[in-house]
Every structure is written in C-alpha cells, then in structure tokens.
Structure 1
C-alpha cells in the first residue's frame, strides 16, 4: 500500500490531525486523556475501549479520570504519552489503519537552538524516533508509521492567511501561538518571504488556567481530568455544563472567578511578552488552542493596529490544516471540513 499522509499538530492538550480525501481537507481534534492500566470492556456495544501497551506498560484512554497523566510539560514531546496521543488521534479519523507518513510539530523552543536560531537536529531526531517506536492496541489494529517529518509550531499556521490578504513584502507580521504548554512567537516578513525573529517560552500556556480549574474543582469535591478542566474553561459561560461538573454548587461562583482571574493574568503575560519581543509589527495573528482567551489582552496591547490584530479562524486547527496544505504536492483542495472528536 502507498502510505497515506497526515499532518499532525500533536499539542499537549489536544492532537489535531488533517488529511486530504478526494480533494477535501478534513480535520479531527482528539483530546489527550490517558492513565496507566487498562479499562474494563464497556457494557454498551457502541462504546469502544482503547487499551494500549508500550513496552511493558499498559495505558488506557480515559476522558474523565482524575488519574489522567499530565501532558502539560515539554518532555511530553518525546515520551509515551506523545506516542499514545498521536496513534489515538489517527484512529479517530475513521480511516482503516495502514502505513502512514506523518508531518508533526515541535515547539519553537525545541525545534531551534536558542543561541543561533538553527535547527536543533538532536531534538528533531528524538521526536522522530519517539513516534517510530512500537505500540500495541488490545483487540485492535494501529496505523504503521513509516516516516516522520518534523516542522516548527506556530509560524506555518498563517501561510494561507498571509497569501489571501496579499501582505506587502515590507510588512512584518507577528504570529502568536498559545498552546497548553508553550507560548511561541515569530515575526514573518511579507508573505513568508523571511522569518526575521523567533521566541519561545515553555512556562506560559493554557495549563496555567487548567491547573487553577482542576484545583478549584477539587476543593468543590469535583476531582477531574485535565480534559474536563479544559472543557470547563471553554464552557464557563454555560451554567448547565458548569453544574454538571461541579458537585458543590455553592462553589460555582468562586471557581468561575478564579478561572477568569487566571485567564486575565495569562492574557496580560502574553501581551507583555509579545510587546517585549515585537514592539511595533504591522500585523498580529493569533493561533493555537488558547488564542481566544488571550485575544482581548493582545488587541488592547496593539490598540493602534485595530482590525490588523487577527484571531485566525478555527485557531486550534490552523497549524494542522496549513501543514496539510503545504505538503499537498499541488493537489487541488476544497476548504475545509472540521470534525470535533471526543475519543
């Protein structure tokens, strides 16, 4: 079989997979929520259990367990959880397993050397080797990864946007990518004529808000997984959902206040780092899973730019989509079909 090609933005919170099928661009989002040991078979026939083995260690996909393993650290890029999350996400595409070539990502801080802005070949090789390791699915078949290409996060996410907006060759565009673990930024000249500067911080990410949400839930007798905490952040204005995940309802207002305070703090931190990195760009583009959270603070920081501070459409999937298009080998593609997957 000819290996099928997938573009994979394997972030710490969610894995985004894009591929082209009969001229259509498809994207799935697969949340990360794994714990050790296996889960028992489901009573409902329509529910599939995903029990994996890597080496001698057993793992299972578990959306709600408070024992879910932490992925919000940079080492995630090279460990069992990364291997698990990528294979699990591939299974969510609905495509029959077979040989595949992957284009995956690394945070800017990992992809480039801080001293000279050149590729960190050791870490790139480490990421590639990690995804080529052996993994097994109990009572199921996995994709065979035959090749892995590694790309930097954030910057490729605005390729189409820059082209469609006919950006001048003299324009400097700041791209801000805020994910679960890292803040990546870069300055692009023109329509990707050049990358004039890069910056990464692996201590700023949405995990700052997620940790507060989990701790607040625990105080309200509502221990949760990272996945549930992230969903609470997304649906914090939906009181019906909030009541579903908070057992002690007297704590709801406290929990929501703490989340909002942390979101505000995250936005201010990102805006401060952005202004320090690129004081006066011509345009600003926000991508990544946390882009909507920080958008108000960044827009305020670059107030004179007005509408040129852009929250990219479907910012969480932007990088996977663009990587897929970039590697489409000239194939005509109709844009796009997004499919949210909950595992």
Structure 2
C-alpha cells in the first residue's frame, strides 16, 4: 500500500472547520489530539469514490491490438492503484466557513454541537497526507483518462485521488468542501496546536443542568457534552472559544468570544527535553553566522511538544540559496520507533523572535 502513496502535499496556509455532533466521543478525540478519517463507504454520500475507468481500459486494449507494445504492465499498474484507492483511503472532510447554517444543522445536530477551527498546515505536520484539495462538483462520474499515466508516479497518484476521492455530484456543492486524503482509514494523530478555536452551537448545552436527564445512559457517540466540559478538558491549550449567535432581524450568524475560565492554568505538554549537541554542525559555510544561533535553535527544538530525539541542526544550503539569507535546519524524531523526521527551518530573524519569546 505505502509504495503507491508517496505524494508530498504542502498544505495551504489557511484555517478550516469541522462541524461536530457534540458527543463524548467528539470531545475525547479532541482531548487525545486525533481525528478520524473514515473509509469512503462510511460517509453519508453513497456515491463516494465512484469513477469510470472504461475509457482508459479500452485505450489500452486497442494499443495492445494495433501495436507491438505490451500494455499488460500498465494495465496491472492501473488496476493495483485503483484497488488500493477503493480499499484503503481515508477521507477527512472539512469546511471553509463556520457560518453555514445548513452545515450547523446537518453535522452539528441542529446547532446543539460545536465546530472546530484548525490551522490546515499544522494539521498535516505530524502525519503525511496522501493529498489535500478542494472538492470538485460536477454532473457526471469522473472519467479516468490515459494521459494520467504519462505523468510521474507522484502526479499519477495525486490526479487519481482528485478524481476518485475529490469529486462529487453537484447536489453537494453547497458544502464547498475541502478534504484531507490519507493512505489509510482510521485514527490520525495531529499536533494539538492545530486546534485554534471551538465554536459552540446556538443550542449547545452550557452546563450539566442543560443536559437531558437520560444523557448519561446514552452511548458515547450520542451522549452530549457541555460547553463547560469542553473548556475544562482542553484547558492550557491556548484555544479560543466563541458562542454562535443570530444577528438581529437576520438569517445570518455571528460569533461572540467566550472567556476561557481556565486561561491562567499551566500550559499543556510544557516540558523541556535533553538534546544531544554532538548532532549540531556549527559551520556557517559561506554564511557569516554567530554560532550562538545554532544553540538557540537547539533550545527552541528541545521545547517542541513532540520532540523525542535530535537528528541534526545545520545550515540548509538549499533554503538559504532560495531565500538569499542564512536558514538553519533542524530535523528531529517524535517517537522512539518513528524514523520519519519532523523538519523545521529558521531564518535568523525567526530564531531571535522565537528565542526571545521563550524568556530563557
């Protein structure tokens, strides 16, 4: 499976929104810093992952008859890719707005749930995505054309995912959806700092007294949580909270900030780890850099929430040339048996600002 999904997607610098029912299960996923990317068959559109590959199969069959070129390998490659996409992809659906009354009604249990605001780029930093894109809405099922296979492997996968997992009927266009596509379905862990704000629905219970009497007897995916519970369980995370409201004499929504009663508690996951300075290359090469900048990067990195072990800190020759200024790279691992590097790049101005904010 993994060999087919190697596309390195750069998430856009934007905020996106996820409407939630407001259940204990929804709050637990927030508390544990993960989202769930379901298989397309578990989404509410029965036409998910529909596509037409007949034309490309017909073209391959004609080529094999009219020329001496064997199309068997290409046909097998196509079949394997489509099987993997149909069997294994996970889709996390997001919105571009928190102000859509239909989305509040359909996905936040008639305005009794909540909506999460994510930093889209931060959401994809810990776990590599297979792709992410705006959904295309059209009248007919997408057709796969032969020209896709004249592109390199990464482009092939990305184009196929856009067609198969990123195309829906025009009847769904009102959702104006943006999607993250994973190479597996199920739990996806993220950096908790990706959550920027929580918006409480118009009718979301504020305290325990507002919950129905039988709430505790319901399963976790139906049992409701209150605004007070959300702010209690997510304390110390620097999350903003807002109450949705109706504008006076209008069908339009607005939101009003809610003061976090736990804003002065200790920061969540606020630790400083050991760092091996033998992994630092202090050489500035062609750039005149005070060696203290490398040590400052080390101090910044060892306070990273998901830092486990340093791989290296050094001048990034490529980024420095690209930006026409010295850029220092740091790569680290986030777990003992996870050898995928988390990469960070810092200009000298970045380093000064972040280091000064640490108040060491």
TM-score by length of 2: 0.25
State the structure with bigger RCO (CA 8 A, min sep 6), 1 or 2.
Answer: 1
Larger strand fraction of residues: 1
Normalising by structure 1, what TM-score?
Answer: 0.26
Larger Rg: 2
